[in-house]
Amino acid sequence: MAETTLSDIRLTPAAAARVAAIAERQGKPAILRLSVEGGGCSGFQYQFGLADAPEPDDSLAETDGVTLVVDPVSLDLVRGCSVDFVESLGGAAFRVDNPNAAAGCGCGSSFAV
């Protein structure tokens, strides 16, 4: 596993609680994978999913017993980010606060560097 400092990636307590609840319902480990793929309205888009286990080259961040994993290619685009879970009148979603993003879209799931 890659060494990750808290400044590399961060999972907020609200996001950790939501991941733990989803993982428990699905009978899976509380491991959230954040990856970046080409596409979306701004060039790149965030992808979230539960993982069964970290890959050997993943970077890890842990909050309240929940692990956030990011592959090395995606880490270059999200280094310094935090993943939060936000509930509002418009719905509930994981949100990425990414200091590397030069622009984003209104929905918050796409960004440009």
Beta strand ranges found along 1-113 (DSSP E): 9-11, 31-38, 44-50, 59-63, 66-70, 81-88, 91-97, 103-104, 110-112
Q: Is 48 exposed, middle or buried (0-12, 13-18, 19+ CB in 10 A)?
A: middle
Of residues 94 and 102, more confidently modeled: 94
Per-residue pLDDT tens over the stretch 7-61: 588 999 999 999 999 999 999 999 999 998 876 565 788 899 999 999 999 999 9
Q: What domains sit in the chain, N to C, each tagged with a CATH number? A: 9-112 (2.60.300.12)
The answer to whether 68 and 6 have CB atoms below 8 angstroms apart is: no
pLDDT band, residue 104 (cuts 50/70/90): low
Per-residue pLDDT tens over the stretch 59-97: 999 999 999 999 999 998 889 999 999 988 778 888 888
Half-sphere exposure of 1 (CA within 13 A, CB side): 12
